[in-house]
Structure 1
């Protein structure tokens, strides 16, 4: 090592953000995982910076940054002290992995972020590091060996088999709210982009299910976190279930071919019950009594009112939709002496796209299975459940709160309806058969038929449909008719 190299000042000790801010201001809002679209970026502040690969010579180097992005709505002069209040303030923390080179090779041209005009990176090229196979492989190397690097901590599941090195990395382009890398068709690394302080359910729940011996969820092999100045879950490495197909695509294929989907739906109901049973055995459960039920119903009514203000097409339905939440409230206060429901940790955003199916005759390949467990799904094929992050737009504390299992059930029922509505011609009978089969399968495995609690199920289905209306109006206006059809159906129950 030369004397100049040995006395080099670490790049992270030199002010970086002033020179990067103009580039990020233009680049960040264009990313699919950026949550603040439609609101102007008003400022940046650096939470932490780590050189995963030092920026020296011609590169490449790899910088890990946690950056608070401010989108202040106006009127508030200072940032909150409690990170949990950042969402109301208009401030989110994002994880960035920036590659740095003197010049960018042609294959990496689409990854370009820009060239700082001043500062420690002046004259170099900054780009999306996860698009560079060499830098993506470096991230896997860090995950192979537990330890710390600055504020970052790398860890592995106890008993997990060793992760081989030298696996070629490729990004998955289907991700929306996060970024994923597949390594040699053996592992998949989810890199969380918009992060919030505290344990992320996408790591917390699969670890709990692994401890419970549940075989329906891929076991985390390794992960990395930020220990300071705020505790963030940043990335989770799991086996890549090569050969599996996602449930949404499978359902659409069934509709297109006219093939029944009831057996698959029934099996998925059983698997959902298996996951719920394992979570309830491993993590605390609570009872939602009168006060909690009133709070739950009030929150649903508030979301309905807010949605109607955002999407005027909902306004005429509000009085009839509110009856679903009023009925839930009444059961908590009076019906049968005041009904209580068990609440537990759940998936929180369960739909067909969060499931994978493997043909029993061709179970998926996978590697890195912890000793004594399977990486899921079972060796005879079948369903597995993935992506336990919950709805990313909701606060982390809310996503980690125990809830009735029917919330997940309502998500899958709505997903069957979505699939049927997107098919031409519309096939409502297909959706009804799938919904019935799914609930029957859930009852077989759990002993609890969700249809036996019609008020609870209707309230959660209505709440989910209202959420869908707002989402589609904002992001996919062409799809708005799909949840609006459910709104019309759910509102019509009030006239029955």
Structure 2
């Protein structure tokens, strides 16, 4: 009965990765009572011969208060079952367990050595996430619960604890985590960090700057418009370089030999071929993209690699009153764990942020009646802030040699090729945003 209720419910959750495909079977792999009325479940979901596992906090009550009606999963006997992440009374177990380093039936709740966790704050679920669930405890902590579970230590936990041990700047202080064993491997279930308040999302700040520019008269340069973002882009570049430096100090580094660099360019080219076959609009840009990839094949030096962010864009950074803070070091959630932990060129992160500036500049033009007239302003904003970010990156110690510039351009265009395919599949009206990346530009 419970597995049938969960199968019907889980398919409707936005963090469920198998939406649009029938569930063949759902089974409960683990069922641990945490406190009376609260159980921790790990369920296996089978679809088309493949299995994914998910984490569910299952609440039980005789009567469900109105505030939890939206979290109802179903009724078994006379007990109401619900998604307990929305129940602040039940979610106090999370703080208590980490504060005490509690272990229960294979669940290990831990706090970072040397920190003290206040168990008094009550929780509130943030509503913006797609693949995880985050709980904010007062103005002190934010706890990210990973819904879809992949065996292994999450890269974000690995990175932020290593950087915090070095007193590295530009990160949110880690406080604790929850783990268990899946397939004999220690696996991260949740991470708790400092909640940044007051702070502003980098994407929102960038869009506010773009709106201010669009509202100005055409003859007003971007640097003189209210809300100019270039100084913040400079600081963000500096912070990015500093975090790359700390990552290189905290984890092993290596180099990609020249034959591997050429293999990387071949990979770019193969992905381009698949993209062109799917999105014909790319065909007119193939020559320019191929030229950029060829410049990588001409490189004669090894390429330094290290741990990187892996999914870097304006939505992954927050501006506090004093500085930029970089979040979400888990890499691209859809990629295998080994790939997310693999060493890569820090230019991959730089390219991701450059693409994000382009998206911020043109995001508001999708469907805008004056899009053609505003396009030069978008290009001006993007060029100005891209240049400021790169200046900040080099001022902060980041290295971009002429050879690096060729690799950076290839990383950026490869990301834009991916974006074109994504937009063609999901938001066709936005496809002009990544297509603009293939025009000649100043930076």
TM-score, scaled relative to structure 2: 0.88
1:213 aligns with: 167
Does residue 195 of structure 1 match 2:149?
Answer: yes
- Does the 8 Å CA contact 1:276/1:346 hold for their aligned counterparts? yes
SS in 2 for 1:454: helix
- Per-residue CA distance 1:283-341 (angstroms, 9 max, x = gap): 0001001232233223333333444455454455455534433432x23xxx4xx3211
Measured in 1, the distance between the counterparts of 2:386 and 2:246 equals 23
Measured in 1, the distance between the counterparts of 2:103 and 2:344 equals 35
Q: 2:34 aligns with which of 35, 43, 52?
A: 52
CA 46–358 in structure 1, closer or farther in 2 if over 3 Å, else same = same
SS in 2 for 1:166: coil
SS in 2 for 1:225: strand
Deviation of 1:419 after TM superposition, in Å, equals 0.6
1:262 aligns with: 230
Measured in 1, the distance between the counterparts of 2:328 and 2:433 equals 24
Q: 1:104 aligns with which of 56, 64, 71?
A: 64
Q: How many residues align?
A: 417
2:45 aligns with: 69
Deviation of 1:445 after TM superposition, in Å, equals 1.2
CA 310–168 in structure 1, closer or farther in 2 if over 3 Å, else same = farther
1:479 aligns with: 430
Deviation of 1:125 after TM superposition, in Å, equals 1.9
SS in 1 for 2:23: coil
- Per-residue CA distance 1:57-84 (angstroms, 9 max, x = gap): xxxx122122222222xxx6xxxxxxxx
| 1:149-228 map, 5 Å | 149-160=104-115, 162-228=116-182
Measured in 1, the distance between the counterparts of 2:398 and 2:81 equals 56
Measured in 2, the distance between the counterparts of 1:31 and 1:480 equals 28
Does residue 443 of structure 1 match 2:394?
Answer: yes
- Does the 8 Å CA contact 2:84/2:91 hold for their aligned counterparts? yes
Deviation of 1:189 after TM superposition, in Å, equals 0.4
- Per-residue CA distance 1:94-131 (angstroms, 9 max, x = gap): 11112122232111111112224xxxxx4422211101
- Per-residue CA distance 1:450-480 (angstroms, 9 max, x = gap): 6652320111111211222333344444433
Does residue 419 of structure 1 match 2:419?
Answer: no
Does residue 22 of structure 1 match 2:36?
Answer: no
Deviation of 1:343 after TM superposition, in Å, equals 0.4
Measured in 1, the distance between the counterparts of 2:275 and 2:42 equals 32
SS in 1 for 2:198: coil
Measured in 1, the distance between the counterparts of 2:10 and 2:389 equals 40
2:202 aligns with: 247
Measured in 2, the distance between the counterparts of 1:482 and 1:30 equals 31
CA 301–231 in structure 1, closer or farther in 2 if over 3 Å, else same = farther
SS in 1 for 2:179: strand
CA 313–124 in structure 1, closer or farther in 2 if over 3 Å, else same = farther
Measured in 2, the distance between the counterparts of 1:291 and 1:213 equals 37
- Does the 8 Å CA contact 1:136/1:169 hold for their aligned counterparts? yes
| 1:40-439 map, 5 Å | 40-54=22-36, 61-72=37-48, 90-116=50-76, 122-160=77-115, 162-229=116-183, 230-258=185-213, 259-315=227-283, 317-318=285-286, 320-328=288-296, 330-331=297-298, 335=299, 338-359=300-321, 381-424=322-365, 425-426=374-375, 427-439=378-390
1:458 aligns with: 409
- Does the 8 Å CA contact 1:354/1:385 hold for their aligned counterparts? yes
CA 297–94 in structure 1, closer or farther in 2 if over 3 Å, else same = farther
2:219 aligns with: none
Segment of structure 1 superposing worse, 122-131 or 314-323: 314-323
2:15 aligns with: 33
2:224 aligns with: none
- Does the 8 Å CA contact 1:48/1:151 hold for their aligned counterparts? no
- Per-residue CA distance 1:221-242 (angstroms, 9 max, x = gap): 0101113544211111111011
SS in 1 for 2:231: helix
SS in 1 for 2:26: strand
Measured in 1, the distance between the counterparts of 2:85 and 2:230 equals 40
- Does the 8 Å CA contact 1:153/1:227 hold for their aligned counterparts? no
SS in 1 for 2:59: strand
- Does the 8 Å CA contact 2:306/2:343 hold for their aligned counterparts? yes
Deviation of 1:158 after TM superposition, in Å, equals 1.1
RMSD of the alignment, in Å?
A: 2.1
- Does the 8 Å CA contact 2:197/2:320 hold for their aligned counterparts? no
SS in 2 for 1:99: strand
Measured in 2, the distance between the counterparts of 1:233 and 1:422 equals 35
TM-score, scaled relative to structure 1: 0.79
SS in 2 for 1:301: helix
- Per-residue CA distance 1:44-65 (angstroms, 9 max, x = gap): 23332211124xxxxxx12212
Measured in 1, the distance between the counterparts of 2:240 and 2:107 equals 34
- Does the 8 Å CA contact 1:33/1:193 hold for their aligned counterparts? yes
Measured in 2, the distance between the counterparts of 1:46 and 1:130 equals 19
